[in-house]
Amino acid sequence: MIWRFGLFDSTFEPLATTHWALLTALCLPLLMGLLAALFPPKRVWPVLLAGAPIVAAGVMLLLAFNDAGLLRWQWAVADIHLSLRLNGLSVLLLLTTQWIGFAAALYTPGYLRLSDPGPMARWLWPLMGTLISALSLMWLATDLLTLYVALELMGLAAVGMLLLSGKAPALKAGMRYLLLALVGSLAYLLGVALILGHWGRLDLQGLAETIEPGPVAWFAAALMGAGLALKAALFPLHAWLSPVHENAWTPVSALHAGLVIKASLFMLVLLWSILLPDAFYASRVIAWLGMLAIVWGGLLAWRTDSLKTLVASSTVAQLGYLMVIFPLLLGADVAPLPRALAWEGFWLQLMGHAFAKAAMFMAAGNLILATGESTLKGLAGTSRRLPLSLLVFGIAAITLMGLPPSAGFTAKWLLFEAMIITQQWWAVAALLVGTLLTAAYIFRMFRYSFDESAPRQRYQPLAPGMDLIALTLALAAFALGLLAHFPLELMQGGGV
Amino acid sequence: MTAAWLPITALAIALLVTVIIFALPEESRRLRTTINLLAAVVNIVLVTLMVRRVAAGYEDVFSFQVVGGVDFVLRTDALGVMFAGLSSLLWLCTTIYAIGYLEGSANRKRFFGFFSLCVASTIGIALADNLFTFLIFYEMLTLSTYPLVVHRGTEQALNAGRVYLRYTLTAGVVLLLGAVLLYSLTGDQSFSSEEGLGDYLNDHRGLLTLIFALLVGGFAVKAAMVPLHGWLPRAMVAPAPVSALLHAVAVVKAGAFGILRVVYDLYGIELSVELGVITALAVAASITIIYGSLRALAQEELKPRLAFSTISQVSYVILGIGLFGPFGTIGALAHLLHQGLMKVTLFFCAGNYAEELGIHRIDEMDGAGKRMPLTSIAFTIGALGMIGLPPVAGFITKWYLGIGAIQAEMYWVVAVLVASSTLNAMYFLPIVHRLWFRLGPSHGKGSWPDEQRLGRFETHGWLLLPMVFTALISLAAGLLAGLPFSPLDWATRVANGEYLL
């Protein structure tokens, strides 16, 4: 299992240019963010200039991986050995992060210009940069300490971004999130301490070889799992999510729902596959909670009157899909074929959802910005006046519903195959129910938008690129479905 | 020489038109109309090329891998180009009609955008070569018809849209389950592979039956088979061109076409008979035929009557499959085309009466033949065809179905056919009678509900032309059924491929 994460020794030395690409990908977002705090960009083109080298570095890393396979960097600082590795999965997640981050950054100037954000707006940039850097670090990290640093940096940046809007409810929700995130970190840190105390090492590869199942491993896994589940808003620890998004700025929501909560989930899968290599009950528990999440999140989204709550609750439900797959990813009793299918389906679903949810938050933000209303009822008449925003919402929604030809569909296809082969019919049922529930709340929203009985007369015009950026993300989720073969090929073998 | 570009180009053009229309501003009416018509004509040319190549014995395949073991494949085979031909021809007619019909109304950009997307999906359905590809376009069709159904944005339209989605999306989920079950059993099963699923019969009989039930059940929702037909009559609130599209080409036909693909190309007719599912299909189709006709008889408005008539008529296709003989197959396939031609004519007529005279109810139609002769002639042709009177196309199918029933020794089917024809006559002939033989407002008796003069002719030229054209083709398809490339000839060709290979 652990080899899928690329945690083994590689034979190739990275080239000099690859070192630079790595450095660029990790540090440049942070630097550019700080620069933008000093000189806040008012237009799109400076953001474009700043983002281009970061994205280029990501592409270079992809090419380097294609040439050489798994890449490893190692340093020894004093007594501690630090290392980073780049395998197929980390390349994919890195690219996803960079593209969504880039899109969110491009979206931001127009959004800030139109929404009158107040004096704190300039601090959005360094926080965004920190977030991207932290996430990139997380995909590459190979030891528990680096992972912790990345997690903490990411968490603080995320809380900071959510607090920026400065409204009273935002502060309240943000403080709650901060406290919960700190509790989550603490639980994680306790787990790390337990492992360090018992086995005396923190590098994942070494741990995977030395850890033997037993109460210590289980307890550490439980602690880390609880902490990460809290941060990932996994059901039933999701209650903080909707209020946070309700008041956050659109690009912040897009980044948060697209990437931040996925990062915690990534770590959960990574750590549990080391600590609980033949877990039976733990993964079952997660799966059952996932099923509840699908139903509960779907119902929340279906009942709500607020557009942003709808999108945020949908995240809770969609995370349920990923949780339902846990027994296939972690169980010891799974045959190689379904496990491979589930593995590919899991990450495809995760990436597709990241793109689609970011696009959907942007589309929802555009609708709210243009109509000045944040309720579903306020959408009446928008189908005539804001067709592009609605189209983006719709295309993103197709991925979430898992209808063809989107990434959600292809992922669901793979997952179904895996579940049918292993005869996990309850999981099949959960996914089917989830599809219908998603359709129910998505089309409820569209129903309001097609209502012509009370059309509004005044709309705030949007900046020209805002819809197009969101459209690009939504279409990326589409393309990921039809061309899934290429990204999934990268992951086969975990890096060789 | 292979021409893999042919199927993908036909699909790409329709998709491209969708993108262009969405990108154009609402006001550029002339440009949008030009692009729409141009694309429809190009599409007909492409499909004609495909038909010629298929007739010459070539099959053009376009494919790429989506994920391991699952391919996206388009292929031109005889059955596929038959459906593609129907949709491309009627696309042109319906587009012309829709341009005239929606003259001056709001949201036309959205309408034509989703309209082309709908057509693109239909082409994709026609040319899909495996279940995965088929499903992609099948769901795309569901999504693209929703905005058309709710186009008017009224409470009633929105409710109809909700019911439509409830049925079709649930059906989509059922289909997906069936498809994945089949894939995990057999791997990627092409529609054109000749083995069928016979190898799996001994070990997986129950599973195969289950998959068959899931697939056919899923398709039956769109084909509006009783008791899964509830969405269709409600979807009547959509504008007339949409109804024409839903009933004649796109939605119900896609369902029937899906069942054809499952029975003939996936399972193979022999295996289906072996499983014993075919008789069940024939019984379900018969129930639908009778039920639809009875309900049609009870309607007092024109469009709902036509809607229930569709429910009944589409099941002729399913019934033809259920007769599992060459004649039944030919009847089924030919009816796929014939019903499309005749039904689209009838809906165009209903739309014209509503637009020009404000007629929605049947008892308002007295004497309309004098005021709108061409429309009424077209309606009469369509109605006679539906009843199955020669020389209109509908006669041909009923004839073949009847022979098929006798050959299969399923005499009760003959009774169903006779009963259905009688019922058809009972609900269509009174309308024809009112049109021509009763005195009405055009004879100076009373007035039309909402009369207006839309054009130089009896109604707007854009509304008149496509209707006359489809009426003539319905007539020609019956009169000239013996000529090559007639619907009957092509259906025979497909059936020969199925039975005599």
Residues B452 and B442: their CA atoms lie apart, in Å, by: 13
CA–CA–CA angle B350, B356, B359 (5° rounding): 55
Å from B181 to nearest chain A CA?
7
Residues 6+ positions from B142 with CB-CB distance below 8 Å: B165, B168, B169, B172
Residues A377 and B188: their CA atoms lie apart, in Å, by: 45
The phi and psi torsions of B171 (rounded to 5 degrees) equal -60, -40
Q: H helices within B56-154, ranges in order?
A: 78-101, 108-127, 131-149
Helix axis angle, A261-275 to A215-231, nearest 10°: 170
Q: Which residues in chain A are closer than 8 Å to B172, comparing Cβ atoms?
A: 403
Please tell me the predicted confidence (pLDDT) of residue A495: 40
Percentage of residues in chain A having pLDDT higher than 90: 44
Query: Which chain B residue lies closest to A485 (C-alpha atoms)?
Result: B67
CB atoms within 10 A of CB A376: 21
Determine which helix (DSSP H) or strand (DSSP E) holds A395, and give its type and residue range. helix A387-401
Task: Count CA atoms closer than 13 A to B474's CA, side-chain side.
Answer: 35
- R_g of chain B, CA atoms, integer Å: 22
What is the total residue count of chain B? 501
B139 contacts A416? CB cut-off 8 A = no
What type of residue is A205? Q
Cα dihedral B303, B304, B306, B310 in deg (nearest 10): 130
B140 contacts A416? CB cut-off 8 A = no
- Of the candidates A404, A412, A420, which has its C-beta nearest B136's C-beta? A404
A412 contacts B176? CB cut-off 8 A = yes
* Six token digits for residue B164: 């439509």
- Of the candidates A404, A435, A485, which has its C-beta nearest B65's C-beta? A485
Interface check A308 vs B, CB under 8 A: no
Q: H helices within B72-107, ranges in order?
A: 78-101
Q: H helices within B195-268, ranges in order?
A: 205-222, 231-234, 240-244, 251-260
Å from B158 to nearest chain A CA?
6
Q: What is the DSSP string of B425-455?
A: HHHHHHHHHHHHHS--GGGTSS--TT----S
Interface test with A, best of B21, B66, B148 (most A CBs within 10 A): B66
Which tops the pLDDT comparison, A378 or A473? A473
Is 0.90 topped by the overall pTM?
yes
Q: Tell me the β-bridge partners of A77.
A: A80
Residue reference for tokens 């190979």: A142
- Of the candidates B67, B143, B177, which has its C-beta nearest A403's C-beta? B143
Residues A165 and A243: their CA atoms lie apart, in Å, by: 13
Please tell me the predicted confidence (pLDDT) of residue B122: 92
Residues B245 and B258: their CA atoms lie apart, in Å, by: 17
pLDDT digits (tens, 9 = 90+) for A306-344: 999 999 999 999 999 999 999 888 877 788 888 889 999
Å from A466 to nearest chain B CA?
15
Residues A364 and B21: their CA atoms lie apart, in Å, by: 23
- Tell me, what DSSP letter sits at residue A467? H
8 A C-beta contact, residue A300 and residue A383: no
Q: Which residues in chain B are closer than 8 Å to A405, comparing Cβ atoms?
A: 136, 140
- In our burial notation (b when 16+ CB lie closer than 10 A, e otherwise), range A307-337 reads bbbbbbbbbbbbbbbbbbbbbbbbbeebeee
Interface check B155 vs A, CB under 8 A: yes
* Six token digits for residue B202: 């001994």
Determine which helix (DSSP H) or strand (DSSP E) holds A487, and give its type and residue range. helix A485-491
Residues A328 and A190: their CA atoms lie apart, in Å, by: 28
Residue reference for tokens 């694309």: B39
Interface check B184 vs A, CB under 8 A: yes
CA distances from B144 to A439, B21, B118 (A): 14, 14, 5
Residue reference for tokens 């509960």: A296
A484 contacts B177? CB cut-off 8 A = no
Both ends of chain A: CA-CA distance in Å? 14
8 A C-beta contact, residue B233 and residue B307: yes
* Six token digits for residue B367: 């004497």
A435 contacts B169? CB cut-off 8 A = yes
Residues B268 and B256: their CA atoms lie apart, in Å, by: 16
pLDDT digits (tens, 9 = 90+) for A295-313: 999 999 999 999 999 999 9
pLDDT digits (tens, 9 = 90+) for A231-269: 888 888 888 888 888 888 999 999 999 999 899 899 999
Determine which helix (DSSP H) or strand (DSSP E) holds A398, and give its type and residue range. helix A387-401
- Dihedral (CA of A488, A493, A495, A496) sign: negative
* Secondary structure class of B270 (helix, strand, coil): helix
Residues B115 and B97: their CA atoms lie apart, in Å, by: 12
Determine which helix (DSSP H) or strand (DSSP E) holds A137, and give its type and residue range. helix A124-140
Please tell me the predicted confidence (pLDDT) of residue B1: 55
B139 contacts A428? CB cut-off 8 A = no
B183 contacts A417? CB cut-off 8 A = yes
Residue reference for tokens 């995760």: A350
**With bands split at pLDDT 50, 70 and 90, how would you rate the model's confidence at A217?**
confident
Q: Which residues in chain A are closer than 8 Å to B153, comparing Cβ atoms?
A: 383, 450-453
pLDDT tops 80 at residue A81: no
A384 contacts B106? CB cut-off 8 A = yes
pLDDT tops 50 at residue A494: no
Interface A-B, measured as beta-carbon pairs within 8 A, has a size of 94
* Six token digits for residue B476: 């020609």
Residues B187 and B70: their CA atoms lie apart, in Å, by: 8
Å from B292 to nearest chain A CA?
29
Per-residue pLDDT in tens (0 to 9) along chain B, 501 residues = 567 788 888 889 889 999 999 888 888 888 988 998 999 999 999 999 988 888 888 888 888 888 878 889 998 888 889 999 988 888 889 999 998 888 777 778 888 899 899 989 999 999 999 899 999 999 999 989 998 888 888 888 888 889 999 999 999 999 999 999 999 888 878 888 777 777 787 888 888 899 999 999 999 998 888 888 888 888 888 888 888 887 777 888 899 999 999 988 888 888 888 888 888 888 999 999 999 999 998 888 888 899 899 899 899 999 998 888 888 889 888 998 889 999 999 999 999 888 888 888 888 888 888 888 899 999 999 999 988 888 888 888 888 999 999 988 888 999 999 999 999 999 999 999 988 888 888 777 778 777 777 777 787 888 888 999 999 998 888 888 878 888 888 888 888 877 654
CB atoms within 10 A of CB A424: 22
Residues B462 and B465: their CA atoms lie apart, in Å, by: 6
8 A C-beta contact, residue B140 and residue B251: no
Query: Which chain B residue lies closest to A480 (C-alpha atoms)?
Result: B66
Residues A64 and A32: their CA atoms lie apart, in Å, by: 24
